[in-house]
Structure 1
C-alpha cells in the first residue's frame, strides 16, 4: 500500500465526494482543474521524498533504556494537506466567481442601481512549521516532516461606477439645453430686458459646454450645493469654467426655485439666468408690456441728451388705459414724449401731428376731465399757448401766440394756428386755456423703476 500512487487512490475516490468538490467551483474549467491537481501532485511528491530521507536519517531502535515522550506521531495521510489546500482554493474561487455572476444578474443597466461588479483577488500566504514526534531520554528531539499552512484571502473591489453615479445624481433634473440670458438693466423681473447671450448644454456627468452668441465655445464643471435662505434650504449649482477669460457669470452659483422649474438664476443681482431652451414665455400683449419695451428703448437710446430721465402714467384721453409720458430731464429744453397703447404697441403722439414735443423743463400740463394737454411759455419775445385735445388717440392741437415784436408779427401781434387773429379772439383763447384744471405731470418714476408696470 505504501508504494501505491496516492493519486491512484484519488482516481478511485467516491463519485459523490468528487462531485461536491467540483460543484463548489462551477466556473472552473476542466483544464484549470487538471492544472491545479498537477501542481498539488508535484508538491506532494517533493514532500514525500523529503519525508523518506528524514525517516532514513532518524531510524529509531527502541530498547528498554529509551523513553518515548512528546507528541504522538500524526497518523493523518500526508497527501491530505496539499489536496485540502487545493480544494480550499477551488472552493473560495468558485464562491467568488459565483458571487460575481450573481451580482451581474442583479445589476440594472445604464447605472440604474443594483450591485457593483467586484474585481476578485485571491491571495495565498504559506507558512512552514515543524512537528515534534518524540524525544529520547537525553532530551534529543526527533522531528517529522514539515507542515505547510496555506491561508487564502478573497477581496473584491468595485469599479467606482456606483459612487460616480451618486456624485452626479443631483444633475439629472438639469440635463439639457438652456438659453443664457442677461438683463441690460440688471432686472430680469422685467421680461423684455432679457437679452440672448448664448446656449449652455448641461450633461449627465455634471459638465457643461457654452456657446456664446459670437460662436465662442467654453467648457466647465458643475457641483452640487445648497443654501439656506430665510430658513428654507435652496437647491444650488456651482458653475466653474475651465478656460480662462470665458464668461465670468458661469463661475458663479445658480439658484433653483421649484416655482420656476424652467429657470436657473445667478446670484442676487438678478442680472443673468439660464432658461430651458424649450421654454417659451407666454406672449404678453398688454399695455404694461408695450410700455416696458418703450421705456427700455429710451433707457438705451444713444444720441439723446437725457440728463435726468423720468417717466409717468396718466390717463389723458379717458379710455382707462393710461398714456406713457417720458421726461428727458429738468433743463429748459427738456421735453415730454407721450405714447398711447394700441394693438399691443406703444405709439408716439408726436408722430401723428407736426408739433414740438410737449412742455419744457421736463414737464407738461394735462386736464384729465377734458382730455387736454396744455403748455404756455415765452421764448424770443413771443408768448406761446398750446392746447392739444386727445380724441380717439388723435391729437387736435391749437397753438395761439402773442408777439411782442410788431415787425415780426406783421398785421397784428396775435395769431392762432399760424394765422393772424384779432385781439378779442386771441383773448378768448387765453381765457379758455386758463379755465382748464391743469395739473403738472411727467416726472413720477425713475427710468429704471418698472414696478407700476409689473402688475398686469
Structure 2
C-alpha cells in the first residue's frame, strides 16, 4: 500500500475542509500560509530521505542468540520528530494568532471593558538524531538512533490592562479625602451653616469609604455620569453602596463644576456637599458674616425662644447696622440688641447679663436722636424706658409709676429706681411721647439670610 504523507493529504483535501481550516486563522494571509507549508514540506521530505538512506545502510540482522549491548534510546523513526515539530509549530501559530484575534474581538472600543488581557506562551520543540554504536556478544557492530530534543518557550503579552485603566480614568480628579458637610439652614452658600458630618475617602479604583462623626463606616462604588442643566453639561458622580444607616451617599448623585474644584454638591437643594479636606473656607470678617453666625447658632439651638425673628437697624448711625433678635410675641418676650465691633458680634448687656429690651418682642427707636424706648405695664404699674444708644452703649432713663408703692413704704414715682415727684415723672413721660418712634424687631424670619449676604 502506497504511503501518504500529511502534505499529500492536505494537497488532496476537499475545498470546504481547507476553508474551515483557514477560517480558524483569519489573520494569516494566503501568501504567509503558503510559505509556512512550503518550508515545512521541504524539511519533511529532507528528513524522510535521510531516514530511507539510513535504513539501507544500517540493516541489522540478528539471530536468536544475539545480545544487544547498550540502551535503546528510541523506537520512533527519526523523521517523526521534525514532522511533529512542524505540525506543532503550525498548530501553535494558529492558536496564538487565533487567540489574539479572539481577544481583539472581545475588546470594547475606546479602551472600555474590564478584565486583564492574558499573555500568550508559545513552546516549540526541535529534534536532532545521533547514531549510537555498540557491539553484540560476537563483536558485531549494532547501530541505533538517539533523539536529542530542545524546548524553547517564548512568552508574549498580547495586551495590557488598559481597559481597566480607562474604566476608572474619570475618578482621577476626585481621588483623596473629603469632608462631608450639611447645612443647618438648607443653604450652603452661607458658609457659616456648613456643619461637619464625617470624612469620605475616594480611591483611584472608583470606590469610597465614609466614616461619620460617630465612627460608623460605610462604603461603595462610584460611576461616571453627565447631566444637562440649563443647556450646560455638568459632570456627575453616581454613588452606590451598602445599606448601612451611615451611608448617606447611597443612590446619591454629586455634581461638579469647574468654578468650585474643591466641592462636590448633592442635588439641587444645596443642603449637603463634599469638600476637599485641605480646602479651608475663608473666615468671614464682615458684619454680615458675624450676624449670620449668630442667627445660625440660634437656629441650631432649636426651641430656645417662643417665635424668634430678627431685624437690622443702624440706631447709632455709624454706618454699620445693629442686629435685633426678637424672642417672640408674648408680653414677656424681648429684643436682644447686638452690635458689630472688631470682627465680632457683641450683645448689649448690663453689668453681668444681656439686656432684654422691649415688650411683645418689639421696641421703639428714634433714629434722629439715637434713642431706644418702650413702655411696659402690669396692672396699675407702668414703666417708661428712654435710652440713648451711642458708642455701642446705652444710657437710659426709666420712669416708673406704682400707685401701690406707698402701701409697702415705697414712692409712687421713681426715676432709675430712685424716688421722684409727680412733676418730674410727668415731664419724663411727655419727653418720651414727643419722640418720633418707629417699632422694630420682627422684620425677617429666622431662616432668611438675604439681607446679610456680603456685597
Match of 2:348 in 1: 349
Deviations 1:213-240 (A, max 9, x none): 2222221100011111111111100111
For residue 249 of structure 1, report the CA deviation from its aligned partner: 3.6
Give 2:165's aligned residue. Answer: 165
TM-score, normalization by structure 1: 0.67
Shift of 1:437: 1.3
User: Hey, what does 1:314 align to over in structure 2?
Assistant: 313
**TM-fit CA distance, 1:453:** 0.9
Deviation at 1:119, TM superposition (A): 3.4
Structure 2 Cα separation of the partners of residues 375 and 400 of structure 1: 11
Q: Using the TM superposition, give the Cα deviation of residue 246 of structure 1 relative to its aligned residue in structure 2, in angstroms.
A: 2.7
Moved more, 160-169 or 295-304: 295-304
The secondary structure found in structure 1 opposite 2:349 is: helix
- In the superposition, relative to structure 1, how do residues 431 and 158 fare at CA in structure 2: closer, same or farther (>3 Å)? farther
Residue 427 of structure 1 aligns to a residue whose secondary structure is: helix
Partner of 1:89: 90
CA distance in 2, matches of 1:418, 1:392: 24
Aligned residues of 1:353 and 1:395 also touching (Cα < 8 A): no
1:364 alignment partner in structure 2: 363
Counterpart of 2:454 in structure 1 is: 455
Please, which moves more after superposition, 428-437 or 407-416?
Answer: 407-416
Query: Are 2:374 and 1:375 equivalent residues in the alignment?
Result: yes
- Kindly indicate whether the alpha-carbon contact (under 8 Å) linking 1:186 and 1:269 is maintained by their aligned counterparts in 2: yes
In the alignment, what sits opposite 1:277?
277
**Retained in 2: the 8 A contact 1:352–1:395?**
no
**In the TM superposition, what is the alpha-carbon distance from 1:160 to its structure 2 partner?**
6.3
Q: Give, in whole Å, the separation in 2 of the partners of 1:243 and 1:303.
A: 33
Equivalent pairs, count: 340
Q: Describe how 1:169-184 pairs up with structure 2 within 5 A.
A: 169-184=169-184
Instruction: Please give the residue correspondences for 1:24-173 in structure 2 after superposition, counting only pairs within 5 Å.
Output: 89=90, 92=93, 119-120=119-120, 161-173=161-173
Following superposition, the deviation at residue 404 of structure 1 comes to: 2.7
Per-residue deviation at 1:429? 1.1
The alpha carbon displacement at 1:208 in A equals: 0.8
* Alignment map for 1:221-300 (pairs within 5 Å): 221-300=221-300
Quote the Cα distance in structure 2 between the aligned partners of 1:247 and 1:88.
57
Q: Name the SS of the counterpart of 2:429 in structure 1.
A: helix
* Equivalent in the alignment of 2:218: 218
1:85 deviates by: 5.1
In 2, Cα distance between equivalents of 1:86 and 1:409:
128
SS in 1 for 2:168: helix
How has the CA–CA distance of structure 1 residues 299 and 189 changed in structure 2, closer, same or farther, with 3 Å as cutoff?
same
Measure the CA separation in 1 of the matches of 2:263 and 2:46: 72
* Displacement of 1:455: 2.1
The aligned runs of 1:295-444 (5 Å cut-off) are 295-301=295-301, 304=304, 306-352=305-351, 357-408=356-407, 410=409, 412-444=411-443
Quick one: structure 1 residues 356 and 177, their matched pair in 2 at CA, closer, same or farther if it must change by over 3 Å?
A: closer
Q: How far apart are residue 432 of structure 1 and its match?
A: 1.4
Q: Give the 3-state SS of the residue equivalent to 1:318 in structure 2.
A: coil
Task: Spell out, residue by residue over 1:57-110, the C-alpha distance to the aligned partner (whole angstroms, 9 max, x if none).
Answer: xxxxxxxxxxxxxxxxxxxxx99x9599559739958997xx9xxxxxxxxxxx
| Secondary structure of the corresponding residue to residue 430 of structure 2 | helix
Q: Is the 8 A contact 2:117 2:160 kept in 1?
A: no
Cα distance change on mapping 1:119 and 1:355 into 2, 3 Å: closer
Q: Work out the CA distance in 2 between the residues paired with 1:445 and 1:408.
A: 45
Aligned match of 2:131: none
* CA separation of 1:249 and 1:94: change in aligned 2, threshold 3 A: closer
| C-alpha contact (below 8 Å) 1:314/1:325 kept by paired residues | yes
Q: Tell me the residue number matched to 2:62.
A: none
TM-score with structure 2 length normalisation? 0.67
Gaps of 5+ in 2: 1-38, 53-78, 101-110, 124-155
CA RMSD, Structure 1 to Structure 2 (Å) = 3.7
Structure 1 residue 401: deviation in Å? 0.8
Name the CA shift for 1:223/1:408 in 2 (closer, same or farther; >3 Å): farther
Provide the C-alpha distance between the structure 2 equivalents of 1:94 and 1:300, rounded to a whole number of angstroms: 71
Deviations, residues 278-316 of structure 1 (Å, cap 9, x unaligned): 111112111111111111122122562x23221100001
C-alpha distance in 2 between matches for 1:405 and 1:355: 29
Deviates more, 1:185-194 or 1:355-364: 355-364
How far did 1:159 drift? 5.6
Q: Verify the 8 A CA contact 1:389 1:396 in the aligned structure 2.
A: yes
Shift of 1:408: 4.8
Q: Secondary structure at the match of 1:436?
A: coil
- Please say if residues 256 and 263 of structure 2, whose CA atoms lie closer than 8 Å, have aligned partners that are also in contact: yes
**Helix, strand or coil for the counterpart of 1:350?**
coil
- Which shifted more, 376-385 or 237-246? 237-246
Give the deviation of 1:434 after TM superposition.
1.3
